[in-house]
Amino acid sequence: MDSGQQSSLSNSVRWLQMQSSTDLDLKSQLQELIPEQQDRLKKLKSEHGKVQLGNITVDMVIGGMRGMTGLLWETSLLDPEEGIRFRGLSIPECQKVLPAAHSGGEPLPEGLLWLLLTGKVPSKEQVEALSKDLANRAAVPDYVYNAIDALPSTAHPMTQFASGVMALQVQSEFQKAYESGIHKSKFWDPTYEDCLNLIARVPVVAAYVYQRMYKNGDSIPSDKSLDYGANFSHMLGFDDAKMKELMRLYITIHSDHEGGNVSAHTGHLVGSALSDPYLSFAAALNGLAGPLHGLANQEVLLWIKSVVEECGEDISKDQLKEYVWKTLNSGKVVPGYGHGVLRKTDPRYVCQREFALKHLPDDPLFQLVSKLYEVVPPVLTELGKVKNPWPNVDAHSGVLLNHYGLTEARYYTVLFGVSRSLGICSQLIWDRALGLALERPKSVTMDWLDAYCKKASSA
């Protein structure tokens, strides 16, 4: 047997091990899994609690804790060279084994949600049941719209979206249960209800923000017969079948990126104080809205459009190189390139590139993105300080959305936010089920570091 056959065999064995039972109810599947995972964590703690995971250096303390292992995050794991795996499955594996709307289509985000929560690959029937459950949870009270309407329509879409999520908090089941004295062993149950409600409702809130800002407030009601991704696309006003496929792929790949990224970490941190999922997720969105994190998708399209405005679509590679240097020399970053962990091209970029090659190979902005893929990495390498010169997820998403008519770049981070609810909420449920601790790392001052280092060097 050659190594290719061997790896496809081990993949299919792994997939079989990951298949769900036939039970259609996600919550009862979780109910079965939780005691097992609680025991596993207890054992890990009692048998290996004192094992060291590495040394903390002064560079790490000063440098944003890069490379410091310090969080438990069950739903996904990021390898610097290979990229993300959701519960052990890479993006191409998810595309192969997760149920799709039609044969050979992109994975349905509901299937990914099932996988994130249970670690198991759902059947088509289970995904359909979850899809219906989410559709039935999607009602948004009027005061949420009123809270958004209180803001000027010129407010950034992320401000409007996060305000809507905060207003959704009024219906928190966790807060109600906590106030009535629920036992901590049951925390996960109202957290589950809040999380599923939140995931169901964020597309409605997000679509409202879009319609309010760009389409004179004419909301499009949700269509319960559609799956999660297709319905979101529909509520935004895009009923093209390819745009629906893009939305399914988009929501699937942006959902989770292990626990240390700014939005996931913020959601987990705020949740560790037993703030309910709405409070935790709204905080996460505020982190996602920063230009070094999720807002980079907006920045990429605006930057690409500025290239076209100044130099035209047919820009040569030499001109492009000059433009990249101009951006760097003006003290700005090249948006969509670099990463805090990844050291290769982001597989989320790769699968979006494959989508473009299949569906929109002649799009001029896609061709510009392809040219940038050749031009930017050598320039960033030449700069000498960038640890990863390769493109990340945000370098590609905008041109795909733009192609199907979603041209408003300032809105793009809201789409990222809708997707990220799947990952952050899945982990929040597990945070409560496993009784994970309040997050409270130690901080020190420069005086403390000076004194510590002097003592260490004289010892």
Question: Amino acid identity, residue 207?
Answer: A
Q: Residue 337 binds which one of ligand MLT, ligand NMX, none, with CB within 5 to 8 A depending on kind?
A: ligand NMX
User: What is the smallest separation between the CB atom of 356 and ligand MLT, expressed in angstroms?
Assistant: 19
The active-site residue, picked from 339, 396, 403, 431, is 339
Active site (annotated) includes residue 59:
no
14 vs 85, beta carbon nearer ligand NMX: 85
Active site (annotated) includes residue 396:
no
> What is the phi-psi region of residue 238: left when phi exceeds 0, alpha when psi lies from -120 to 50, beta otherwise?
beta
What helix, strand, coil percent values describe the chain, rounded to 5?
Answer: 65, 5, 35
Question: Residue with the closest Cβ to ligand MLT?
Answer: 261
Q: What tokens were used for 400?
A: 């795909």
Residues 289-308 that bind ligand NMX (CB under 6 A): 292-294, 296
DSSP for 390-444, written as a single string: SB-THHHHHHHHHHTT---GGGHHHHHHHHHHHHHHHHHHHHHHTTPPPP-----
User: What is the smallest separation between the CB atom of 198 and ligand MLT, expressed in angstroms?
Assistant: 18
Question: In angstroms, rounded to a whole number, what is the distance separating the alpha carbons of residues 70 and 47?
Answer: 19
Residues 208-247 that bind ligand MLT (CB under 6 A): none
Question: In angstroms, rounded to a whole number, what is the distance separating the alpha carbons of residues 395 and 304?
Answer: 10
Active site (annotated) includes residue 293:
yes
The answer to whether 417 contacts ligand NMX (rule: CB under 6 A) is no
Binding residues for ligand MLT, total number by CB under 6 A = 7
Residues 375-404 that bind ligand MLT (CB under 6 A): 392-393
The answer to whether 337 contacts ligand NMX (rule: CB under 6 A) is yes
The answer to whether 340 contacts ligand MLT (rule: CB under 6 A) is yes
Give the DSSP letter of residue 107: B
83 vs 203, beta carbon nearer ligand MLT: 83
Question: In angstroms, rounded to a whole number, what is the distance separating the alpha carbons of residues 410 and 131?
Answer: 29
Q: Residue 111 binds which one of ligand NMX, ligand MLT, none, with CB within 5 to 8 A depending on kind?
A: none
User: What is the smallest separation between the CB atom of 312 and ligand NMX, expressed in angstroms?
Assistant: 23
The answer to whether 377 contacts ligand NMX (rule: CB under 6 A) is no
From 141-149, 150-158, 163-171, 392-400, give the range in contact with ligand NMX by CB under 6 A: 392-400
157 vs 417, beta carbon nearer ligand MLT: 417
Q: What tokens were used for 323?
A: 């433009």
Nearest Cα to Cα of residue 426 among 241, 246, 217, 284: 284
Nearest Cα to Cα of residue 25 among 126, 99, 121: 126
Rounded (10°) CA dihedral 28, 32, 38, 43 = -170
Binding site for ligand MLT (CB under 6 A): 257, 261, 293, 340-341, 392-393
Residues designated as active site:
293, 339, 394
**Residues in touch with ligand NMX (CB under 6 A):** 66, 292-294, 296, 328, 333-340, 380, 385-388, 392-394
